[in-house]
């Protein structure tokens, strides 16, 4: 019966693909899906989207003021720019600026992964290219972006080509797949994509981060068994070998739904994989744990409960920071919990910023041993210092 | 399973008949509720949902129950739920009122309205979030909800609530009764 239901759903979805008029964001204010990063000189860069244009702004004063925007894509295109599916920014070894985003295609749930680079410190950007070689009008979206220790640009995304093939063959297929690609020429071209794994969740952000060895690790929501939506971990191989994908969380949240809560991951120099993720097995909960792929996480801790969402994590030496949005009738609070003993214990939650109006997903950034939070609110972009030295 | 779901919907009127009087006539209160909850036949306009609108939306109805169908554009599981809840409402118009609420920003009005028409639920009162991110409105609607879609919130006249996340199984659909 499960198979029959899946087939029915897939056929229904396919029928809908034939006619839909999904429009791009055309509001006057930018959506709150933004990303930020420090370059090697400590300059802050913020990327977001407004009316079909990816724009990059820089700040030399830790976010107090942002410079005039530089438009990345002169020709407007529909862009996904929600908290879970937002433009990304990363830097090459010589502060080359790399930007990726998901282009919204006309049919529901469809997209292309797009990329552009600047080799002149943001003065100009290359014409955007489409990363994935597959041009079917299906989901290639929720892109993630990182640069490995060798300067390779790695991107991973949610991809529904296998789901589409299964529908064609009349076979069931739960969820989507994760595909990835990389560039060895500084973003001029990307290799044909590789499939990482089947049965990923369809609408949660992926996270890519560095391992202690300079490789790129992925952490993302995966579907196990009959719709148990836990998380998987893998180091993305770029040497032609298959990547090993292992289950890394075991909350057993069983649900046929879109959680829209992707995880966070930061790996310390000692190799400890500090992770945060969301599950609602027994009510909404943000969890912290140290991943031990194939086994339940170590030092697992419920960081926050009802009203908490969209956590991020960072690590430096023995200090671990976890931030998240906590909502109430009064608005949004940006919350922090900090550990000074490698994540074994955490301080009590502390409110470090507040917004009466909507706020996007917080993003932890490190500079000179200090932790900052990029927090994009309706009132404007903020860089919030966690106010504690590591 | 899909057949089981449809069968459940079709059988629900039989269950509902247990609430009628022995001579088969519908009680007066139920008749009034039927008038209140009649299936709308014209396309409803899409209205924004702000924080200040939520108390009225989640207030216990005078009769029967209100089904709040929470969905989003990116959610592939939402459309079967919208269809199932609309079928439930049509099968029991005297008991249920249905309101659809998109957790997407009202700025995506055109896409939301298009999808509601395609799914065949555009005749029901429809709302979409007035805030740029959904988290606060999610919490105000239902503190036990983490924002996953679809979710249905059932609010009965006696003030009791039932919240169910995910694509509804026949058993869950039956439980809404």
Could you read off the pLDDT of B131-177 as tens digits, one per residue? 888 999 999 999 999 999 999 999 999 999 999 999 998 888 888 87
Eight-class DSSP state of B103: E
Nearest CA in chain B to A141: B74
Q: Inter-chain contact B139–A306, Cβ cutoff 8 Å?
A: yes
Nearest CA in chain A to B163: A283
Q: Inter-chain contact A359–B151, Cβ cutoff 8 Å?
A: no
The pLDDT of residue B41 is 54
The pLDDT of residue A337 is 98
The pLDDT of residue A23 is 33
Q: Inter-chain contact B147–A23, Cβ cutoff 8 Å?
A: no
Q: What structural domains does chain B harbor?
A: 2-11+43-176 (3.40.30.10)
The pLDDT of residue A174 is 93
CA distance linking residue A109 with residue A100, whole number of Å: 18
Judged by average pLDDT, the poorest of A21-30, B12-21, B33-42, B92-101 is B12-21
Residue A329: its chain B contacts at CB < 8 A? Answer: 51, 140
Q: What are phi and psi of A247, to 5 degrees?
A: -65, 135
A325 CB within 8 Å of a chain B CB:
yes
The pLDDT of residue A31 is 79
Q: Which residues contact A34 (CB under 8 A, 6 or more apart)?
A: A46, A47, A48, A81, A86, A87, A360, A374, A376, A381
Whether B43 has a pLDDT exceeding 90, the answer reads: no
Nearest CA in chain A to B134: A358
The pLDDT of residue A168 is 95
Q: Inter-chain contact A8–B131, Cβ cutoff 8 Å?
A: no
The complex scores an ipTM of 0.82
Extract the tokens encoding A196. 């990482």
Residue ranges, chain A, pLDDT below 50: 1-27, 388-390
Dihedral angle of Cα A359, A360, A361, A363, to the nearest 10 degrees: -90
Interface of A with B in 135-174 (CB under 8 A): none
Whether B4 has a pLDDT exceeding 70, the answer reads: no
Extract the tokens encoding A69. 């925007």
Exposure string for B84-99, b = 16+ CB within 10 A, e = fewer: bbbbbbebbbbbbbbb
Interface of B with A in 50-109 (CB under 8 A): 51, 72-80, 105, 107-108
Q: Tell me which H or E stretch contains B174.
A: helix B170-175
A278 CB within 8 Å of a chain B CB:
yes
Interface of A with B in 182-241 (CB under 8 A): 202-203, 227
A20 CB within 8 Å of a chain B CB:
yes
CB-based contact A59:A43 (threshold 8 Å): yes
The pLDDT of residue A81 is 86
> Can the peptide bond before residue B150 be classed as cis, meaning omega within 30 degrees of 0?
yes
Average pLDDT over residues B75-104: 94
Q: In this structure, are strands B46-49 and B126-129 parallel, antiparallel, or unpaired?
A: parallel
pLDDT digits (tens, 9 = 90+) for A235-291: 999 998 999 999 999 999 999 998 989 999 999 999 999 999 999 999 999 999 999
Minimum-distance CB partner of B1 among A4, A325, A327: A4
Task: Give the gap in angstroms from C-alpha B20 to the nearest C-alpha of chain A.
Answer: 34
Whether B6 has a pLDDT exceeding 80, the answer reads: no
Nearest CA in chain B to A278: B146
Residue B172: its chain A contacts at CB < 8 A? Answer: none
Q: Inter-chain contact A16–B79, Cβ cutoff 8 Å?
A: yes
Locate tokens 């074994």: which residue? A344
CA distance linking residue A180 with residue A74, whole number of Å: 26
For the purposes of burial, counting CB atoms within 10 Å of the CB of A41, is it exposed (0-12), middle (13-18) or buried (19 or more)?
exposed
CB-based contact A123:A116 (threshold 8 Å): no
A331 CB within 8 Å of a chain B CB:
yes
Nearest CA in chain A to B146: A284
Average pLDDT over residues B117-143: 93
Nearest residue to A320 via CA among A296, A289, A295: A289
């Amino acid at each position: 019966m499960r198979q029959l239901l899946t087939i029915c759903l897939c056929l229904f979805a396919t029928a809908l693909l034939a006619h839909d008029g999904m429009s791009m964001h055309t509001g006057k204010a930018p959506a709150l899906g933004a990303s930020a990063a420090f370059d090697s000189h400590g300059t802050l860069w913020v990327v977001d989207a407004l009316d079909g244009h990816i724009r990059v702004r820089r700040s030399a004063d830790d976010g107090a003021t942002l410079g005039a925007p530089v438009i990345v894509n002169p020709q407007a295109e529909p862009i996904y720019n929600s908290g879970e599916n937002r433009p990304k920014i990363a830097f090459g070894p010589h502060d080359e600026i790399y930007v990726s985003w998901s282009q919204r295609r006309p049919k529901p749930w469809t997209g292309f992964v797009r990329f552009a680079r600047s080799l002149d410190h943001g003065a100009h950007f290359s014409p955007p290219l489409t990363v994935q070689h597959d041009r079917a009008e299906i989901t290639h979206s929720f892109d993630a972006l990182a640069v490995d220790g060798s300067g390779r640009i790695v991107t991973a995304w949610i991809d529904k080509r296998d789901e589409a093939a299964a529908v064609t063959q009349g076979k069931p297929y739960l969820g989507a797949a994760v595909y990835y690609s990389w560039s060895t020429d500084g973003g001029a071209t990307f290799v044909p994509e590789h499939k990482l794994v089947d049965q990923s969740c369809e609408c949660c952000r992926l996270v890519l981060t560095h391992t202690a060895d300079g490789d790129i690790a992925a952490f993302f929501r995966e579907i196990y068994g009959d719709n148990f939506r836990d998380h998987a971990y893998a180091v993305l191989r770029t040497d032609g070998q298959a990547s090993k994908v292992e289950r890394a969380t075991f909350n057993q949240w069983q649900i046929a739904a879109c959680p829209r809560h992707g995880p966070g991951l930061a790996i310390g120099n000692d190799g400890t994989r500090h992770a945060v993720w969301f599950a609602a097995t027994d009510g909404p909960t943000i969890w912290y744990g140290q991943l031990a792929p194939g086994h339940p996480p170590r030092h697992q801790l419920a960081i926050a409960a009802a009203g908490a969402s969209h956590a991020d994590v960072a690590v430096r030496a023995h200090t671990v920071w976890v931030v998240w949005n906590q909502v109430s009738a009064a608005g949004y609070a940006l919350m922090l919990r900090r550990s000074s003993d490698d994540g074994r214990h955490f301080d009590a939650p502390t409110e470090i910023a507040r917004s009466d109006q909507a706020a996007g997903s917080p993003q932890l950034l490190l500079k000179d041993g200090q932790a900052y939070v990029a927090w994009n609110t309706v009132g404007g972009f903020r860089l919030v210092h966690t106010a504690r030295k590591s | 399973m899909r057949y089981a779901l449809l069968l459940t919907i079709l059988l629900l009127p039989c269950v509902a008949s247990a609430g009628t009087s022995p001579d088969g006539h519908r009680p007066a209160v139920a008749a009034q509720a039927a008038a209140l909850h009649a299936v709308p036949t014209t396309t409803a306009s899409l209205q924004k949902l702000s924080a200040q609108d939520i108390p009225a939306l989640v207030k216990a109805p005078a009769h029967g129950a209100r089904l709040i169908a929470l969905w989003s554009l990116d959610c592939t599981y939402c459309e079967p739920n919208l269809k199932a809840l609309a079928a439930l409402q049509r099968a029991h118009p005297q008991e249920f009122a249905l309101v659809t609420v998109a957790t997407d920003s009202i700025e995506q009005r055109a896409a939301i309205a298009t999808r509601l028409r395609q799914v065949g639920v555009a005749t029901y009162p429809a709302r979409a979030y007035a805030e740029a991110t959904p988290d606060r409105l999610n919490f105000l609607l239902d503190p036990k909800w983490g924002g996953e879609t679809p979710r249905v919130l059932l609010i009965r006249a006696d003030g009791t609530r039932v919240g169910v996340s995910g694509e509804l199984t026949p058993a869950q659909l039956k439980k809404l009764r």
